[in-house]
Amino acid sequence: MTTHHTLGSVAVPRGMVWVDEFDWVPVERAVAYSLTGALLVDVAPRLAGRPITLAGEVDAGWLGRGVVAQLYALAGSTSATHTLTLADGRAFTVMFAPDSPFEAKPVGRPELPTATNPYYATLRLIEV
């Protein structure tokens, strides 16, 4: 186990927690009725699309402004996929979510923030 997660080559504190880890079901089920009234259940595994949202809070998982700038640039890059390695060793191939992939807010209100000023952020990723 390491002291941080990594997204590509960017180190992200492990205090940023995967908040929607168990909100996704790996099986898709569709229910319908046939013309005879019989119940039809179609079941298939989902092969991709699992959301991975890493979120910090006002009191945990802070990023320095320099790291925020790196993640902001990564979210805006043309690279389609990235490797996310969690601090516990699990690795995923991910892309940034299409809607609101990244947000960061400063801790406090620094007038002239430096590269080390703390921010809390949310990274919205999708496993591909």
Tens digit of pLDDT for each residue in 54-73? 999 888 889 999 999 999 99
Buried/exposed 68-80: b ≥16 CB within 10 Å, e otherwise: bebbeebbeeeee
For position 3, what pLDDT does the model report? 86
Is residue 52 a contact partner of residue 94, using CB atoms and an 8 Å limit? yes
Extract the residue ranges of the chain whose pLDDT is less than 70: 1
Is residue 12 within 8 A of residue 64, CB to CB? The reply is no
Tell me, what's the pLDDT at 24?
A: 93
What is the pTM for the complete model shown? 0.84
* The total number of residues written for the chain in this structure: 128
Domains contained in the chain, CATH given? 4-127 (2.40.30)
Residue 9, token pair as written in the block: 């080559």
Amino acid 76: pLDDT: 87
Specify the pLDDT at position 55: 95
pLDDT of residue 79: 80
- Cβ pair 123, 70 in contact under 8 A: no
Per-residue confidence (pLDDT) for residue 109, from 0 to 100? 85
